[in-house]
Chain A
Amino acid sequence: MSPSEHWRIERQPGEVIDRSQPINFTWNGSPVTGYSGDTIVSALMASGVRVMSRSFKYHRPRGVVTATYFDPNCSFQVGDEPNVRAAHRQVREGDVVRAQNAWPSLSFDVRAANQLVGRFLGPGFYYKTFIRPQTLWPLYQKVLSRFSPGGEPPPIGTPHEIFDKRFAHPDVLVAGGGPAGMAAALGAARSGASVMLVEEEYELGGHLRYGGVESLAALASLRAEVASFDNIEVLTDSVVLGRYDDNWVGIVQRSGMWAKERLIKARVGTLVVAAGLIERPYVFEGNDLPGVMLATAALRLTGLHAVKPGTTAVVFTANSTGDEAVARLRSAGVQIARVLDARKGDDVVRALGRGKVTGVEAGDGSTTEADLLVTATGWTAPTSLLNMAGDRPIWNPQAARFTPSELIDIRVMATGGIVGDGSTAELVAHGRAVGSEAAARARGEVPQSVAALTPYPHPALFQSTTVGFVDFSEDVKSKDIVSAAREGYDSSELAKRFTTSGMGPAQGKLEMVNTMAVLAEATDRDFESTGTTVWRPPYAPISLGALAGRAFEPERISPIQSWHNEHGAKNMVAGQWIRPEHYGNPAAEAANVRSRVGIIDLSPLGKLDLRGPDVVKLLNLVYTNSWDNLAIGSVRYGVMCAEDGVVMDDGVTGRLGADHYLMTTTSSGAGNVWDWLEMWLQTVHREWQVTITPVTTALVSINIAGPHSRELLSRVTDIDLDPASFGYLKVRTGSVAGIDDCIVWRIGFTGELSFEIHVPASYGLHVWQALLEAGKDLGVAAFGVEAQRILRLEKGHLIVGQDTDGLTLAYQAGLGGLVKLGKDDFSGKPELVLQEARAGDHSHLVAIETVDPMLVPPEASQIVVNGNDIVGRVTSSRMSPTLHRSVCLAHVPADLAAPGSRLTIVLTNGDRAEAVVRENLAFVDPEGVRLRG
């Protein structure tokens, strides 16, 4: 295809193309040349292309309708990017542009055969067929999915490009950079407000850009004035996506910065909606033929891109924009074959032609030859953002459009076409007044009302006497809406859902009012009682990339992680943390702890520093056991239950001083527990004096476990480790490996003599290495999470979330001894009282031994009775390197919980195995001799 200057007209005063910069791209494989500043579609129009796409259902040829972002027929595949709005996207050198939804080609599409059976493809036809035989439905479905209307998904391996996010706090945000929007920005800026002015096109100006000489002059002066204010930030090619609670506003910026797209999140003082008006198509037979377009489309193509959209035109006009189109087309060299004036009773009945307009039949029955039919039949106010602020727009029958009702939120205002009409001067005056008031409201001043801008009267024109398309992108005709209503889908929501009218990419911006008009007529109702459907965010589509930003997922690692990686650690994902699962041989690591000494990096352990005179009250409230008599220098294990008595977390808390405690939580529960404590303090017991500081990452936690652990620690610390003074469940502070203020406590998750050290994080690696160095002769070695799991299982210690689930009460987890029902009140008490009253009537956590000692039943194996009736399950299961047999914890019902009860386990491969319930949860050292040594 060669660039055809035939369609490019002489230089226009408002043109946005740079004729000195040709841009080459391809369209369906053929080279096309446009100019810098062209949209893809304007460049194609300039080259004589008229068919832009094939329609979704009938594969009818379609051309330009609105020449805007929301043009229903101009979604293209550009390179690997599908659904590019080509009437908005500026053409770039080397773009590979293809039509979507056409096969084998745009000019010959075999699926256009659907038109022949169109009468059978009414609304919801798929609900009425393919019902029998059921076996063929999957096949039908495959065929239907071939008709999916979009472009090709980006190929596997397409990289996530650079997207960014930004926060902003403007006093006033103006959505829409037309004359009223610019004026509103100026009005606000003049009174000192910081203003963000957001315009969806590439330049400010709105309809002034493609207006006449006077409009352009007014625009130039407005632009200059805007540019003179430092406190107005202009964002072009940017769209306000939505207004959320408390004037939280999302904006997508699509070009003009280093990132591909940017999501701006703004907390706005006052939001001014100046979204203008959207021109509405007219419904008549052939209204979807290439060559039928809106007056604003004709004005845009001629005024902005200097493209002549046809040679001979009929213009159907009901307003001044249509009149302007007549004049403009004439001056662009288009022959005006006929002007049909709706205000004088003229009508368009049908556009004639196959694949393109060849003529127009008027209401008087006469036919005019033309290749262009321009309609100007009315406007739709895009009230979307106002809807999101709680406004329900009202149908204004005189103006034939919706207008906002009284805005409820004083921090949301509107100006411009969305509220009313006027000369440029009147729009600007209203905009300035609204902007100034918006700034005042942002300052917190008492709201004053602004003189109203009222809409001009406009004939109510929606559909002709013939049947036409209401929704181009969904291929919905007016008769489809009529038949949906007759079938009973007669409310606006049901009709929309049944016909899918307004469900396509424009989301009702072009379609909703006509759909309502057709429905109102079909059901013999007025607009008011037909209702509207709710506009939902986002106002314009936004890429997943822009929403995701840099797709940055935080990763937490311990300060010792570099050492782990250098020493063969196999890491695992544990919530936000990455940590060593083992260093090659977890069984050997566990055995080393039992026989000599091991150290493990427990830094992910949740840690909360609690201070204040009321900490004990808080501990008594959230833990099931009593904390009244915990002495300074002692630690205690506690279990937390939610209000339903379900175990939610566990851990050790130590008392470091009179009013100072350190609480540890499970690694995965750290955030939840902090939330939980703050919830109690901030909402229930605001009188309590407790300060919580999360110190999880401020402290590195290292556990030294094994018979030689005391010896090892003694070599690096000044703390007196004599068991007589530093017994089990005691805490001391002191120096470790030369680092002061380390917290050391004696606990024993592994079942061995062990010391847990909490070290200021930056010294963690130093202490870790000092321990390894000092204990060389003792056989010290690092162990990972897996070895710890083996050791704790041998000891019969449960893991919350593994050996308990979302319903396990403290009693069921064998933690009954830690529930002190005598306490005043604590979280979960009522449910635990109930459970205690019928002790035994629930499942129990028990230790079990398989009859075959070498069999390690997979975790999650089910315990059954009577064949396949599930009564319990194995929650933890490992081969014990200490006992050389399998060790398991399991949930079993009360009648199978007694020691010696025989169980049938269904293994995950379907085999069955026998097991016996043990006396004690601990397999190793049930008396706790090692622990307390």
Chain B
Amino acid sequence: MAQTATTTGGRARTRGRAARYSAFDIVRRGVTHSEWPRSFNEHELRTTYDVVIVGAGVHGLACAYYLAVNHGITNVAVLEKSYMGGGGSGRNTAIIRSNYLTPEGVRFYDRSVKLYEKLSVDLNYNVMFSQRGHLTLAHNDASLRTMNWRAEVNKLQGIDSSVIDAKEVGRIVPYLDVSADTRYPILGALYHPPGGIIRHDAVNWGYARAATHLGVEIHQQTEVLGIETAGGKVTGVRTSRGNISTSMVINCTAGWASTISDMVDVKMPLVTHPLQAAVTEPVKVFLSAVIVSGSLHVYVSQTDRGELVFGASVDPYPSYSMRGSLEFTEGLAAHILELIPSISSLKLLRQWAGLCDMTPDYSPIMGVTPVEGFLVDVGWGTYGFKAGPVAGEQMAQLIATGRTPDLIAAFDLARFADGRLVGEKGAASVGH
């Protein structure tokens, strides 16, 4: 693919301008006591940009990076009303996988995993991608049937994914109770060896650092107040720090995606739900794989620091609240102890919530809208972080070429009017 070549070329540019990260450089700076330079350049907000990206999460930052590195488009501003990576990109549970249900979904997320695999090298920033394996447990024959379905679709797309039995599950994760006499016996699991976890902050910062050194400007604490149009085309953006003229605006927000789209009267079939997560205090590492249980509405992984990171399905009501609830932690703990009964003395340290824009078919909305120059990369539900690199790469290609790439064609906004939904509910609802 042509992009690969340009990516390599771009990397050379990155390396030329940003401080190089390596063990050697760490030692060199340690010995000479020389400080690391700024990773993110600061800029005054200018009055005109070729492209304005709304939202400095992983999607916006990746889009900016690929615009610069793959297409040489660098007159780009990324606007962020708070701090970069502070929304869903810093609140997710950082699970990466590609074992989706629809062929469209599988192809798309597979590209994302591939990009993640080489992201540390591409960005010269260790994003700590740990491909430790991902297990989706089946506790009844209905979920086992869905796991089989996913495995079959995955295999035909060349994804490493298969259904394994309870004994094999117990071998991979000895702490799981795989005995048959539990309330929700583990009948088997969808096993996806390339799945794993990542340091989400590192991904955000790595993209931001690489993009800014290619000339992109990231403006934090800069809120978009309005988007100007004339004759059905984007002409500018009003922000809390001044006005910008531009003909291209990309909505890369979550939680506020419909608010931003409303600014140009583009209606989005989105409902925003909180998604809660929690983390325990650390213990020595005992859990190798990522564990997901759809029936028990819970997923868990253990970081290299030893903390258990928990998540669940979205809260059952729409809300913009980013506060955790007590009920969530109760249900979470009960379900975790069903799976791993020995850890009742581990302590929950912190809980939080993020906002998820849910679409009717649990697939995102990407591409053009009826307003010329207003593109969207939204509706990421509970699966946005996984897709950061591929979404950025494909949106950048769309911006640069004006043509919607095949990989994202199925996710267009028009599908809701045309009745072409891409049903990922079965793999995405608690599918972390």
- A163 contacts B by Cβ under 8 Å: yes
- B330 contacts A by Cβ under 8 Å: yes
The complex places the Cα of A590 from the Cα of B126 at a distance, in Å, of: 60
Whole-angstrom distance from the CB of A50 to the nearest CB of chain B?
Answer: 24
Contact with B along A533-559 (1 / 0, CB 8 A): 000111001111111110111010000
Whole-angstrom distance from the CB of B357 to the nearest CB of chain A?
Answer: 17
- A153 contacts B by Cβ under 8 Å: yes
Given contacts A160-B341, A491-B220, A541-B347, contact A547 B333 (CB under 8 A): yes
- B1 contacts A by Cβ under 8 Å: no
Contact with A along B264-308 (1 / 0, CB 8 A): 000000000000000011111110000000000000000011100
Check if B120 sits within 8 Å of A141, measured CB to CB. no
Check if B23 sits within 8 Å of A544, measured CB to CB. no
| Residues on the B chain within 8 Å of A154, using CB | 342-346
Closest A residue, CB atoms, query B41: A488
Closest B residue, CB atoms, query A545: B344
| Residues on the A chain within 8 Å of B33, using CB | 119
Given contacts A126-B128, A547-B329, contact A134 B120 (CB under 8 A): yes
Check if B183 sits within 8 Å of A555, measured CB to CB. yes
| Residues on the A chain within 8 Å of B362, using CB | 806
Check if A131 sits within 8 Å of B345, measured CB to CB. no
| Residues on the B chain within 8 Å of A507, using CB | 349-350
The complex places the Cα of A97 from the Cα of B118 at a distance, in Å, of: 45
Check if A127 sits within 8 Å of B343, measured CB to CB. no
Q: Which of these, B27, B152, B205, contacts A862 with CB under 8 Å?
A: B152
Check if B423 sits within 8 Å of A835, measured CB to CB. no
Check if A127 sits within 8 Å of B202, measured CB to CB. yes
Check if B125 sits within 8 Å of A131, measured CB to CB. yes
Check if B306 sits within 8 Å of A130, measured CB to CB. no
The complex places the Cα of A154 from the Cα of B342 at a distance, in Å, of: 6
The complex places the Cα of A395 from the Cα of B222 at a distance, in Å, of: 24
Check if A544 sits within 8 Å of B148, measured CB to CB. no
- A320 contacts B by Cβ under 8 Å: no
- B49 contacts A by Cβ under 8 Å: no
- B43 contacts A by Cβ under 8 Å: no
The complex places the Cα of A610 from the Cα of B360 at a distance, in Å, of: 30
- B231 contacts A by Cβ under 8 Å: no
Whole-angstrom distance from the CB of A167 to the nearest CB of chain B?
Answer: 12
Check if A82 sits within 8 Å of B283, measured CB to CB. yes
Given contacts A141-B304, A493-B86, A537-B351, contact A158 B342 (CB under 8 A): yes
Check if B126 sits within 8 Å of A491, measured CB to CB. no
Check if B283 sits within 8 Å of A83, measured CB to CB. yes
Check if A548 sits within 8 Å of B330, measured CB to CB. yes
Interface residues of A in 110-160 (CB under 8 A from B): 117, 119-120, 122, 125-132, 134, 137-138, 141, 144-145, 148-160
The complex places the Cα of A159 from the Cα of B280 at a distance, in Å, of: 19
Check if B183 sits within 8 Å of A553, measured CB to CB. yes
Whole-angstrom distance from the CB of A756 to the nearest CB of chain B?
Answer: 23
The complex places the Cα of A117 from the Cα of B184 at a distance, in Å, of: 49
* Interface segment out of the listed B71-79, B137-145, B384-392, B406-414: B137-145
Whole-angstrom distance from the CB of B344 to the nearest CB of chain A?
Answer: 3
The complex places the Cα of A117 from the Cα of B30 at a distance, in Å, of: 9
B interface residue count range (under 10 / 10 to 19 / 20 to 34 / 35 or more): 35 or more
* Interface segment out of the listed B92-100, B246-254, B318-326: B318-326
Check if B205 sits within 8 Å of A148, measured CB to CB. no
Closest B residue, CB atoms, query A491: B83
The complex places the Cα of A842 from the Cα of B423 at a distance, in Å, of: 14
| Residues on the B chain within 8 Å of A835, using CB | 419
The complex places the Cα of A152 from the Cα of B306 at a distance, in Å, of: 10
Check if B345 sits within 8 Å of A543, measured CB to CB. yes
Check if B305 sits within 8 Å of A81, measured CB to CB. no
| Residues on the B chain within 8 Å of A547, using CB | 329-330, 332-334, 348
Check if B281 sits within 8 Å of A505, measured CB to CB. yes
Given contacts A125-B26, A244-B326, contact A486 B21 (CB under 8 A): no
- B256 contacts A by Cβ under 8 Å: no
- B361 contacts A by Cβ under 8 Å: yes
Number of interface residues of A (CB under 8 A): 103
Given contacts A536-B352, A862-B152, A870-B103, contact A131 B22 (CB under 8 A): yes
* Interface segment out of the listed A28-36, A192-200, A572-580: A572-580
Check if A644 sits within 8 Å of B306, measured CB to CB. no
| Residues on the A chain within 8 Å of B332, using CB | 547
Q: Which of these, A150, A494, A536, A575, contacts B350 with CB under 8 Å?
A: A536
Check if A543 sits within 8 Å of B27, measured CB to CB. no
- A860 contacts B by Cβ under 8 Å: yes
Check if A148 sits within 8 Å of B306, measured CB to CB. yes
Check if B130 sits within 8 Å of A141, measured CB to CB. yes
The complex places the Cα of A862 from the Cα of B426 at a distance, in Å, of: 16
- B121 contacts A by Cβ under 8 Å: yes
Whole-angstrom distance from the CB of A107 to the nearest CB of chain B?
Answer: 21
Check if A544 sits within 8 Å of B280, measured CB to CB. yes
| Residues on the A chain within 8 Å of B348, using CB | 538, 541-544, 547
Check if B21 sits within 8 Å of A545, measured CB to CB. no
Whole-angstrom distance from the CB of A620 to the nearest CB of chain B?
Answer: 24
The complex places the Cα of A132 from the Cα of B22 at a distance, in Å, of: 8
Check if B333 sits within 8 Å of A548, measured CB to CB. yes
Check if A908 sits within 8 Å of B426, measured CB to CB. no
Contact with B along A827-865 (1 / 0, CB 8 A): 000010011001000100000000000000011111010
Closest B residue, CB atoms, query A497: B201
Give 16 A-B pairs besides A122-B26, A134-B117, A137-B126 with Cβ atoms closer than 8 angstroms. A82-B345, A83-B347, A117-B30, A131-B124, A131-B126, A132-B22, A153-B284, A265-B326, A488-B39, A489-B39, A541-B349, A544-B347, A547-B348, A572-B141, A574-B140, A906-B152
Please report B residues at the A interface, Cβ cutoff 8 Å. 21-23, 25-27, 30-31, 33, 35-42, 83-86, 90, 103, 117-118, 120-121, 124-131, 139-142, 145-146, 148-149, 151-153, 155-157, 174-175, 183-185, 199, 201-202, 205-206, 209, 220, 280-286, 304-306, 321, 323-326, 329-330, 332-334, 336-338, 341-352, 360-362, 419, 421, 423, 425-426
Question: Nearest 6 pairs between A and B by C-beta?
Answer: A545-B344, A148-B306, A807-B423, A150-B282, A547-B333, A806-B425
**17 pairs, CB–CB < 8 Å, chain A vs chain B:** A83-B281, A127-B206, A156-B174, A159-B341, A245-B325, A248-B326, A483-B36, A497-B85, A542-B348, A544-B346, A546-B333, A547-B348, A551-B334, A573-B184, A801-B142, A806-B362, A807-B421
